[in-house]
Amino acid sequence: MASRHSRSPTPEDASSSRYRNIRYKSDLYVQDVPTESYTRDVADFKIVDDEHEAIVVDNGTSHLRAGFASHAKPYINEPNQAAKFTSRKSAKTALYGRDCEVDSAVRPNIKTVFDGDILMTNELLETALDYTFHHLTPLSRALKGNPSHVPHPIVMTERLATPLYSRSITSELLFEAYGVPSVTYGVDSLFAFEHIQARRKGLLSGRRAKGESAAKGESGLVINMGHMSTTLIPVLNGKSMMNRAKRIPWGGSQASDLTLRLMQLKYPGFPMRVSQRQATYISHRTLYFATDYAAEVSALADPERMSAASTSVQFPYPVPEGVQRSEEELAAMAEKRKEQGKKLQEITQKRNRERTEKNQMDLMGLKDVMESKATMTDEEFEDVLLHMGYQSEQELMRDLRDLERKVKAARLRAGELEDEIEETPSFPLLDVPDAELNPEQLKEKKRQRMLKAGYETRVKLKAEKQAERERLAEIQRKDDEAREEDLQGWAEKLKQDHSATMLRMRERKKRKALLTNRKSSAAQGRMKQISELAADSPVGRKRRRGGDADDGFGADDDDWAVYREIEGTEDVDEEAVDQDHIQDLEAKLLKYDPTFTEADTMESISNRQSALVHAFLRGNEPQAGVTSEETEPGNGEAANVYQQQEESLAQAYRLHLNVEKIRIPEVWFQPSIAGVDCAGIAELAGYLLDSFGEEDKKKMMQCIYVTGGCSLIPNLKPRLERDLTMLLPFRAPLNVITDTSIPADWPVAAEWPKDPRVSAWQGMAHWASTDEARSAQISRAEWEEYGGEWLKEHRWSNWWDEGHYVD
């Protein structure tokens, strides 16, 4: 939690002078985003005196839109949600729409009117209708003396193949609680089809036309990409074919939920909780359809393209208050740090030189003592040893050899000395019998015997090294001959060895990582081996009779791997050997094979993988340890220490979307990506079109209309046209229409509304004035006689008679 000296930045802060020096700018800023809605002020409400004027209600799963049929757009557009709330200052016990999001104490109690895609509770529906009629008929209720009276007929949408119970509770509320004269039900996507046909024929200019429907005799395929599901309904000769309608259980709500879950999976340590509304806000502004999903995903394997395709999302973060320094102060601080580093290096080098000089002086002093031994008596030499702090000559010789080793190593590191050829030492006392030697000479003979053993060991090691060098030289000679005889075959063999070694190193690293997880199979196998070795099992009689027979363990080198598995760590020597082998192979291939480049080396491959992971998680932000001219202190664009701290904190509160931007919308075309067991919209559309005859299919292909809020996702039309072109006959005429892109030859194109979310309401408003709408009204008397589940069928409604569903 931020302290009282901290605050959260806003999108406006990004352009203010306070943030001008921050090097990384985000593409999207996320705050406590409210749900988009609007309801006009009652003072601006135009009274509708005609009680025959219908109230049009688009009761959607996401938003409720309502208004009079004569209006150009819905008067009410609110989120279809409600919450119970009791206030001490007012008598309100329920909130609806965006009002539920005002108070943070009410938000946990928010419930949607629909349970998924089904209307189940009449209590929440009553709250929604109360809000609607309160704003639409404030004077009509007072004039009738009944605060609940609504004198206007109602035209309302319902879901495709809605349960009879949902229609029953809706009719009961409208007739019993509000006293409406009549109600008409229809499917929202089909009303949207009515709207585009009216637009195509120019029937929405000026006063709304009376009489026939605009879509009479028209054919097409209506695809509704809604909030909770996606439906496909064919329309043939002005009649919806409900018996062939299809439904995909995927919509905008599931897409937003998948966005949230993918972000939580991608950033498990994100310091704040991302709400569902924020995930919806992000998905609305970042997702788009890929024209060729497979090709675009393959292209994102390139770190540069992944970085370029990333969209950064900045969340609010606490800004620490600090003291800002000028550029001159920053430059002085940087220069001071640089000087301090140089001084530390000089001090270290000086100490090493002094230590080496001291060792050399001590070594010379000890050698002088040993050289002066010949001119001293034994008693004088012992006095010198005691004065120097040695109890015996052996202690002095041990220090002398130690100083010789240190001085020699220091001179080798400094490049002042090369490896010297060790002269053959002499051991004269080893050939003298012990009986002829005094006690001191016996001690010296013992020391010479040890020195001779060490000398012989060193000679043996040198011989082995020489033999190893000769063996390697022979291998190199054979390798050179093989390269000269067949360069391509030689290079291919080395490449295979290179790949096998890299695979072995990756497997070793993978096994090491698995051992850290005690629930992994590798760790459990290790514990099993430990328990088996620790078990003190008795030796059988047959084993005792045979003695300690050798079972052959150790004959195979792989047998010794059990000790490494028990230890739980990999052999460091093997890793070092493989690393040297990789470098040797790469050096040869780079030198002799023109097809092997720096990009094929293990370091380049690892760097590409690291860069790809960084681009996936952090977009085009600079990697750790990578500096540029802008980050060097002293430049005009450099940030001060305070800004660097703030930028680091902002990075912790920043998300990056890249693959997710096309992966989430792709579910509409490949539902199996999200675990939905059904076909995609393109496949279902092709199947529906092929189920009709050639003439009917041609007519329907001329108007494949896509509506619904999710049709606003960019690049939908090109993707759908591409997929349908591959499924339908060659060069078949195809016309995909959305609310944001219509044919240029249609009239009144300039007046086309670019929001498909209100197309259904506008189609209902146009259709409500037709003779068909008046004949489809269900009166209160008919409701009382036939029941709440009864429905008067029309061209845009669900079917009541079950016999209609027989294809």
Residue 119: its H or E element? strand 118-119
DSSP letter (8 states) at residue 341 = H
> Is pLDDT above 60 for 618?
yes
pLDDT confidence of 355, banded at 50, 70, 90? confident
Pairwise pLDDT comparison (727 vs 419), residue with the higher score = 727
Q: Which of 13-22, 25-34, 519-528 has the highest mean pLDDT?
A: 25-34
Instruction: Work out the percent of the chain whose per-residue pLDDT is above 90.
Output: 27
Could you please report the per-residue DSSP string of 282-294?
HHHHH----SSHH
The stretch 72-95 carries a mean pLDDT of 79
Question: CB–CB of 127/111 below 8 Å?
Answer: no
Read off the pLDDT of residues 629-661 as tens digits, 9 standing for 90 and up: 444 444 444 445 566 677 778 888 899 999 999
pLDDT for 416:
60
The stretch 735-758 carries a mean pLDDT of 73
> What span, in angstroms and rounded, lies between the C-alpha atoms of 399 and 412?
20
Read off the pLDDT of residues 195-250 as tens digits, 9 standing for 90 and up: 888 877 766 544 444 555 666 678 999 999 999 999 999 999 889 999 999 999 99
- Maximal CA-CA distance, the chain: 142
Token pair 């002088």 in the structure block, residue: 368
pLDDT for 18:
36
pLDDT for 397:
82
319-324 long-range contacts, Cβ below 8 Å, gap at least 24?
Answer: 319/6, 319/7, 319/8, 319/9, 319/646, 319/649, 320/5, 320/6, 320/642, 320/645, 320/646, 320/649, 321/5, 321/6, 322/641, 322/642, 322/645, 323/642, 324/640, 324/642, 324/643
> What span, in angstroms and rounded, lies between the C-alpha atoms of 334 and 640?
11
Positive or negative, the CA dihedral 673, 676, 678, 681 is negative
pLDDT for 147:
56
> What span, in angstroms and rounded, lies between the C-alpha atoms of 383 and 397?
16
> What span, in angstroms and rounded, lies between the C-alpha atoms of 711 and 723?
16
Name 406's Cβ contacts closer than 8 Å, sequence gap at least 6: 356, 359
> What span, in angstroms and rounded, lies between the C-alpha atoms of 101 and 95?
9
pLDDT for 316:
87
Question: CB–CB of 57/72 below 8 Å?
Answer: no
Name residue 224's beta-bridge partners: 231, 707
Closest alpha carbon to 163 in 120, 225, 128, 129: 120
pLDDT for 556:
56
Question: CB–CB of 242/799 below 8 Å?
Answer: yes
> What span, in angstroms and rounded, lies between the C-alpha atoms of 59 and 191?
13
Buried b (16+ CB within 10 A) or exposed e, 87-110: eeeeeeebbbbbbbbeeeebeeee
> Is pLDDT above 50 for 338?
yes
Token pair 């209720």 in the structure block, residue: 141
pLDDT for 724:
93
At 245, list the tokens. 């309608």
> What span, in angstroms and rounded, lies between the C-alpha atoms of 785 and 67?
29
Write phi, then psi, for 283 (nearest 5 degrees).
-65, -35
Pairwise pLDDT comparison (222 vs 7), residue with the higher score = 222
The stretch 396-403 carries a mean pLDDT of 82
Closest alpha carbon to 594 in 494, 486, 488: 488
Closest alpha carbon to 388 in 396, 380, 398: 396
The answer for 76, left when phi > 0, alpha when psi is -120 to 50, beta otherwise, is beta
Read off the pLDDT of residues 286-304 as tens digits, 9 standing for 90 and up: 999 999 999 999 999 888 8
The stretch 150-179 carries a mean pLDDT of 92
> Is pLDDT above 70 for 418?
no
The stretch 513-541 carries a mean pLDDT of 63
Q: CA 649: distance to chain centroid? A: 20
Pairwise pLDDT comparison (545 vs 280), residue with the higher score = 280
> What span, in angstroms and rounded, lies between the C-alpha atoms of 607 and 413?
32
pLDDT for 31:
73
Of 113-122, 128-137, 401-410, 694-703, least confident by mean pLDDT is 401-410
pLDDT for 655:
92
> What span, in angstroms and rounded, lies between the C-alpha atoms of 352 and 410?
9
Q: How far apart are the first and last CA of the chain?
A: 62
Name 595's Cβ contacts closer than 8 Å, sequence gap at least 6: 491
> What span, in angstroms and rounded, lies between the C-alpha atoms of 367 and 300?
71
The residue type found at 463 is A
pTM check: above 0.75: no
Do strands 239-240 and 220-225 pair parallel, antiparallel, or not at all (unpaired)? unpaired
**How many Cβ atoms sit within 10 Å of the Cβ of residue 594?**
9
pLDDT for 23:
43
pLDDT for 691:
92
> Is pLDDT above 50 for 4?
no
Write phi, then psi, for 709 (nearest 5 degrees).
-60, -35
Q: In Å, how far are 57, 132, 157, 268, 779 from 170, measured between CA atoms?
A: 12, 14, 11, 44, 14
Numbers of helices and strands, H then E, in the chain: 26, 21
Could you please report the per-residue DSSP string of 698-712?
HHHHT-EEEESGGGG
pLDDT for 17:
35
Residue 233: its H or E element? strand 230-236
Write phi, then psi, for 118 (nearest 5 degrees).
-125, 135
> Is pLDDT above 50 for 611?
yes
The stretch 758-779 carries a mean pLDDT of 90
pLDDT for 803:
46
> What span, in angstroms and rounded, lies between the C-alpha atoms of 501 and 493?
12
At residue 768, the 3 state secondary structure works out as coil
Of 339-343, 456-460, 585-589, 744-748, least confident by mean pLDDT is 744-748
**How many Cβ atoms sit within 10 Å of the Cβ of residue 159?**
24
pLDDT for 630:
43
Read off the pLDDT of residues 94-131 as tens digits, 9 standing for 90 and up: 888 888 877 777 888 888 889 888 988 888 999 999 88
Read off the pLDDT of residues 682-691 as tens digits, 9 standing for 90 and up: 999 999 999 9
- Arithmetic mean of pLDDT over the chain: 79
Q: In Å, how far are 387, 394, 472 from 371, measured between CA atoms?
A: 17, 15, 45
Instruction: Work out the percent of the chain whose per-residue pLDDT is above 70.
Output: 75
pLDDT confidence of 322, banded at 50, 70, 90? low
At 382, list the tokens. 């012992």
The residue type found at 581 is H
Q: In Å, how far are 517, 523, 568, 578 from 563, measured between CA atoms?
A: 19, 14, 9, 20
pLDDT for 372:
79
Closest alpha carbon to 56 in 807, 784, 758: 758
Residue 513: its H or E element? helix 487-515
Residues in the chain: 807
Write phi, then psi, for 216 (nearest 5 degrees).
-65, 125
Token pair 């028209």 in the structure block, residue: 218
pLDDT confidence of 284, banded at 50, 70, 90? very high
